[in-house]
A and B are shown apart, each in its own frame.
Chain A
Amino acid sequence: MIHRRQFLRIAAAGCGTMLIAPRLVFANVETDRRFVFIIQRGAADGLDTVVPYADPGYAALRRDFAVDPAAALRLDGTFALHPSLAELGKLYGKGQALFVQAVASPYRDRSHFDGQNVLETGGSNPYQLKDGWLNRLVSLMPRSHDEAIAFAPTVPLALRGKADVTSYAPSALPPAPDDLLMRVGALYESDPQLHPLWSAAMEARGLADDAQARQDPASIGKTAAGFLARDDGPRIAMIETSGWDTHSGQMFRLANQLKALDTLIASLRDNLGDAWAKTTVLVATEFGRTAAVNGTGGTDHGTASSAMVLGGAVKGGRILADWPGLAQGSLYEGRDLAPTLDLDALIAAVAAESLGLDTDLAMRTLFPGRPFNKALHGLVGA
């Protein structure tokens, strides 16, 4: 009966904004430029984010679940932005947002965990590399006086590696007195695993005194901006978002997810103040979703998705895509949006241009053994 089915739909509604639960990680390097990587864990659907409304395949594949082109924000003659992304639409209008379509990492199977491993390590295959490309990016820059900071109880793979990272997350537990902290320090003095972790934690405490114990997207954006805006603060950040795996009820869930992302980025921009002009934010996911809607109002694991490049120095107001189209014959393995742009090369180009590094060197270091796409230049201004 209909009321029984209602059970699930409302249930999904109740937790949409909670699912994103963003987590932050920071690293310090000597520069006045800022680079923020936002990962969308769970395979975000690019087709409902940067909507190819003019491609007749879109409405045919998504049927009743398609984003209404009348409600979406038109970007150009082919693409429109999901209506939840109003603030990103404003950035696009100011030339501060570049949207990328049909982009994918080298990973071609459909496991979240392997896909995230490839995206974060920068390897060609899962588990080929042990450390993360963001950590190797940190190693390309001169280090500043402070250690890096992770705003999460644990360090995500992209930032794991040789360069030091540390973590901070607001805690609801009563703080431990200095005496106890000092004694713990003595206890860990000769432990090769715990000693460096503890030293890093003690350094982060000084920086994070007034960070708010809030986990909503606006507060996370504000907290991140608070750190990045400081003269002596970190310059590289990673923000982890989750909840993008929309196998069912995608219309509602994705609207919530994108709204939270929009709020997070707007809060970052507003609270960065003048530093926004020197900031680049890159948003990407491990892979996309099936082109067609499935039997449960959702989409399953796919291949190519969309990505975003945002910031005061971004040469935006345009779409970067070699659009493969959504005709049946154009789909990858007959089911997914085909990848026509390499996400690795995009990341290398954006990171290098944002931080004033040589793009070839960045590509070799971040994504060893992967070919660079020379056409990707002029994405971010000096």
Chain B
Amino acid sequence: MTTAASQAERLTVAMNRFGLGAKPGDAIPTDAERWLIDQFDRYEPTPPAFERALPGADIADQFSEGRMALRGGDATAKMAARKELRQNGQALYRDEVQMRAHSALDTDTPFVERLVHFWSNHFAVSADKLPVTVLAGACEREAIRPNVLGNFEDMLLAVVRHPAMQLFLDQIRSVGPNSPMAQNSGERRNRRKPGINENLAREIMELHTLGVRTGYTQADVTQFALALTGWNVRGLGAGANAERPGGFAYRPRLHEPGQRDILGKSYADTGEEQAGAVLHDLATHDATAAHIATKLARHFIADEPPAATIRTLAAAYTSSGGDLKAVYAALVAMPEAWAAQPVKFKSPWEWTISSLRGLGFERPDMPIAPLLNQLGQPVWRPGSPAGYDDAAASWAAPDALVRRVEAAQRIVGKAPVELDARQLAPELLPGTLSDLTRREIGRAESGPTALALLLVSPDFQRR
């Protein structure tokens, strides 16, 4: 299955499969494996690309203040205010996407940066409603980036407690049916009976931790949703006070009293900590180890990864207690991760970032969010909590190829005129550039056409 890769081929694998794509003039690492592992020490959770970024709490506050302006005035004024709010939200979203792209272009830890993108998709929110649109970038910056080299459980907790996820999966209105708040409102009026919303609980089990069909039942989901009641966002959601909206809040008045039974284990009612105890057990469950191992193997080794590969990664997860650095190290140490033949068809995001890096862009004069919309992978908007698919069948389609050619033309139009595709190609794909691609690039009618052909070549579209 694996052919022993030459030194040059190992470089291609390190830069393109593990990293975000080679850059012209990059310092060439001599030891490809070492180069990947050393990035763990250099990684900065908040690199300079994000210096303009606002804390999620400020964004939540700003956008709920903006909403209050909608309440006054006549219908025309309201409509105008609503439109402005939506436009401001879109502008903020586009700015967040741009910062994410800049960080991916700047970074000297591209392996870790790729892992940030990987986890952000694993814990996907979808920017379909305005509150998630404005907070999706903050969720990645605040919950994923600081924990990408930490323990899985810490990342899980940070994501589940982040307002973006709580808003996306409807947690903020979930109320224990026997909680003090439900009792109270039941006495007041007979109308709206507060209750739970099981969306977050289900997706944590199905998508974030155990994985689908791993033996949990509808009763486990419901019990977990009850345990999660009270986990909320400050200043928003059921039973909120007039405090400044923002980060995580635990609201005891929403919490369902009593012991919960989940996956055969009982959890005493410890209030806020009850759901924390469940999350701890989910994070350290064998099914979670296998689920995470499968997704990582799919991202780096093959769309359908071999069972033995998954077992090795799952064992690294379990024996380290979910220490992600140990899992990544096990991945880098696997011979099958270094197969010289490309194993993955790049997603639109991967292709765009590697194209911009390959042509040496630092601050491209081109909005990235609309470009990714056109390429069929809007950033932070997969439309579902499962995130984007990580397999060629989702991205290699007739129309998608035409879009990439059009986008390549657009990107190349902004590149420096002195770039010569004939020199660049072997630098970006050391040891793996095919004769056919080399020949077609050489035959192109113009410099820009040659660069566009390089970006859409079969060699460059895969990693």
Q: How many Å from the CB of B272 to the closest CB on chain A?
A: 19
Residues 131-172 of B at the A interface (beta carbon under 8 Å): 131, 167, 169-170, 172
Chain B: minimal CB distance from A209 (Å): 14
Instruction: Indicate if A101 sits at the interface (CB-CB under 8 A).
Output: no
Q: Is B384 an interface residue (CB 8 A)?
A: yes
For B202, give its contact among A110, A126, A171, A188 (CB under 8 Å).
A110
Instruction: Establish whether residues B405 and A204, one from each chain, have CB atoms under 8 Å apart when the complex forms.
Output: no
Residue tally, chain B, CB below 8 Å to A: 81
Interface string of A178-197 (1 = CB under 8 A from B): 01110110111111011001
A166 contacts B398, C-beta separation under 8 Å: yes
Interface size class of A (residues with CB under 8 A): 35 or more
Please encode chain B, from 340 to 354, with 1 for each CB lying within 8 Å of some chain A CB and 0 for all others.
000001000000000
Q: CB of B98 within 8 A of chain A?
A: no
CB distance from A244 to the nearest CB of B (A): 11
Query: Given that A8-B131, A300-B199 are contacting pairs, would A179 and B406 also be in contact in the complex, using a CB cutoff of 8 Å?
Result: no
B166-204 vs A, CB cutoff 8 Å, 1 = contact: the mask equals 010110111101000000000000011111111100100
Contact of A179 among B197, B397, B449 (CB under 8 A): B449
Are B177 and A15 in touch, CB under 8 angstroms?
Answer: no
Question: Interface 1/0s, chain A 78-122, versus B by CB < 8 A?
Answer: 000000000000000000000000000000011111100000000
Q: How far is the CA of A136 from the CA of B52 in the complex (A)?
A: 52
* B residues less than 8 Å from A1 (CB atoms): 240-242
| Measured CA separation A8–B64 after assembly (Å) | 9
Contact B458 A188 (CB under 8 A): yes
Q: In the complex the two chains form, is B192's CB within 8 Å of A180's CB? A: no
Q: A150-B399, A153-B400, A197-B397 are in contact. List 20 more A-B contacts (CB 8 A).
A: A8-B237, A18-B128, A21-B383, A109-B212, A150-B397, A153-B399, A155-B397, A174-B410, A180-B409, A180-B453, A181-B405, A190-B436, A201-B398, A242-B383, A247-B170, A247-B197, A294-B195, A295-B193, A298-B170, A298-B197
Contacts of B436 in A (CB 8 A): 187, 189-190
Is A112's CB under 8 angstroms from B384's CB?
A: yes
B residues whose Cβ falls under 8 Å from a Cβ of A: 63-64, 67-68, 70-71, 82, 86, 128-131, 167, 169-170, 172-175, 177, 191-199, 202, 206, 212-213, 218, 221, 235-238, 240-242, 245, 345, 370, 374-376, 383-384, 386, 392-403, 405-407, 409-410, 436-437, 440, 443-445, 449, 452-453, 456-458, 461
Q: Using CB atoms, name the residue of chain B closest to A199.
A: B398
B-contacting residues, A63-80, CB 8 Å: 63-64
Chain B residue, CB-CB nearest to A336? B218
Interface string of A231-269 (1 = CB under 8 A from B): 000000000001101011000000000000000000000
- Chain B residues with CB under 8 Å of A3's CB are 67-68, 71
Contacts of A181 in B (CB 8 A): 402, 405
In chain A, residues 287-301, which have Cβ atoms closer than 8 Å to a Cβ of chain B?
A: 294-298, 300-301
- Which of A11, A126, A198 is the most central at the interface, judged by chain B CB atoms within 10 Å of its CB? A11
> In the bound complex, do residue B406 and residue A173 qualify as a contact, i.e. CB atoms below 8 Å apart?
yes
A317 and B383 alpha carbons, distance in the complex (Å): 35
Shortest Cβ gap from A366 to chain B (Å): 20
**A169 and B399 contacting across the interface, CB-CB below 8 Å:** yes
For the complex formed, measure the closest distance between the CB of B251 and the CB atoms of chain A, giving whole angstroms. Answer: 13
Determine whether the beta carbon of B399 is less than 8 Å from that of A243.
no
**B456 and A184 form a contact (CB under 8 A):** yes
Cβ-defined contact, B458 with A294, below 8 A? no
A128 interface residue per 8 A CB criterion? no
Cβ-neighbour of A294 out of B196, B383, B449 (below 8 A): B196
B453 contacts A153, C-beta separation under 8 Å: no
For B458, the chain A residues whose CB sits under 8 A away are 187-188, 191, 193-194
Contact B401 A187 (CB under 8 A): no
Q: Given A179-B449, A187-B456, decide whether A296 and B405 contact each other with a Cβ distance below 8 A.
A: no
B445 to chain A: which residues have CB within 8 Å?
179
B397:A153 contact, CB within 8 angstroms = yes
Which among B64, B384, B437 is the interface contact of A187 at CB below 8 angstroms? B437
- Are the CB atoms of B174 and A296 closer together than 8 Å? yes
Q: Are A173 and B386 in contact (CB under 8 A)?
A: no
In the bound complex, residues from chain B placing their C-beta under 8 Å from that of A174 are 406, 409-410
Most chain B CB within 10 A, of A42, A189, A200, A294, is at: A294
Do A176 and B177 have beta carbons less than 8 Å apart? Answer: no
Residues of A within 8 A of B456 (CB): 184, 187
Establish whether residues B399 and A5, one from each chain, have CB atoms under 8 Å apart when the complex forms. Answer: no
Q: How far is the CA of A134 from the CA of B272 in the complex (A)?
A: 48
**A to B CB contacts below 8 Å, 27 in the list:** A1-B242, A10-B67, A11-B131, A12-B129, A19-B128, A111-B212, A126-B213, A150-B398, A153-B397, A155-B393, A166-B398, A167-B400, A169-B403, A173-B407, A180-B409, A180-B449, A181-B402, A181-B405, A184-B401, A184-B453, A187-B453, A193-B345, A194-B458, A194-B461, A242-B383, A295-B174, A295-B177
CB distance from A8 to the nearest CB of B (A): 7
Chain A residue at smallest Cβ distance from B403: A171
The answer to whether A295 touches B394, judged by C-beta atoms less than 8 angstroms apart, is: no
